[in-house]
Amino acid sequence: MTLNAQQAVLSCQALNKTYTEGPQKVQVLANINFEIFPSDRIAIIGSSGSGKTTLLNMLGGLDLPTSGKVELAGKDYAQLNQKQRGQLRNQHLGFVYQFHHLLAEFTALENAAMPLLIAGKSMQEAKAQALKLLEKVNMAARAEHKPAELSGGERQRVALARALVTNPSCVLLDEPTGNLDQQTAAQVQELIKELAENSGTAFVIVTHDTDLAKQQNRVLRLDKGQLLVA
């Protein structure tokens, strides 16, 4: 779903996350405020344990903040029940992980079509739309292959197609090039840039890959719970 270019896809307001470990309280995220707009490409970097994945889970509504709020398409996750959050995610968000999480028993086409089937589309409609996305990521020729028959880079391209098949406002990526060689990682980055420019989709990329981070139009660093301009 395409939003107005001036409307934030995702926003965090005074976001805090604290975990209790025995008698201690550990603050992972502290008073984070930022907005993500259509076509944004944002890299979030930081040392291991700095809270990058926790922040990504908050942005995706997979975890709720201790205080403050996260809004997706103007709706506060905390004001929605679990089913409503799931519907909002399915409409506006795509996810890509370091490990592609493709379903081994299904073809590339069936994997890419899965979010549409979950949303209630017919198999015929879902596959037709998924094939268009596989064409965008140069994987149409491999549509009938299962994940075991694909290279690491090919699997990640299918994962990107699956994330984009619902025409989301934003895609969240957790170390998307972590298992790829340098050349394949560069291809994935070019694909992200092209998709952001052509479709208006925003991309938020959590990464340790400094080369990947530098190629985004904003780089933010998590340090001691604070989100800073890198």
- Domain range list for the chain: 10-229
Res. 3 pLDDT band, cuts 50 70 90 = very low
Superfamily of domain 10-229: P-loop containing nucleotide triphosphate hydrolases (3.40.50.300)
Res. 191 pLDDT band, cuts 50 70 90 = confident
Question: 138 is written with which tokens?
Answer: 């140069």
Give the contacts of 38 (CB within 8 A, at least 6 positions apart): 2, 3, 4, 5, 7, 9, 169, 200, 201, 202
Q: Which of 101, 107, 110, 113 is nearest to 145 (CA)?
A: 107
Per the model's pLDDT, the better-predicted residue between 179 and 110 turns out to be 110
The span from the CA of 106 to the CA of 125, in Å, is 17
Q: What is the chain's alpha carbon radius of gyration, rounded to the nearest angstrom?
A: 17
What does each C-alpha distance from 16 to 31, 66, 123, 226 come to in angstroms? 5, 6, 41, 10
Question: Does residue 213 surpass a pLDDT of 60?
Answer: yes
Predicted model pTM: 0.84
Res. 127 pLDDT band, cuts 50 70 90 = very high
The pLDDT of residue 224 is 83
What is the secondary structure of 81-108 as a DSSP string? -HHHHHHHHHHHEEEE-SS----TTS-H
Cβ count within 10 A of residue 162: 28
Question: Does residue 145 surpass a pLDDT of 90?
Answer: yes
Question: 38 is written with which tokens?
Answer: 């259509």
The SS3 of residue 28 is: strand
Q: Which residues face 21 on adjacent strands? A: 24
The span from the CA of 27 to the CA of 202, in Å, is 28
Mean residue pLDDT across the chain: 85
On whether the CB atoms of residues 142 and 150 are closer than 8 A, the answer is yes
Instruction: Name the percent of the chain lying above pLDDT 70.
Output: 96
Considering only the C-alpha atoms of the chain, give the largest distance between any 2 of them, rounded to a whole number of Å: 56
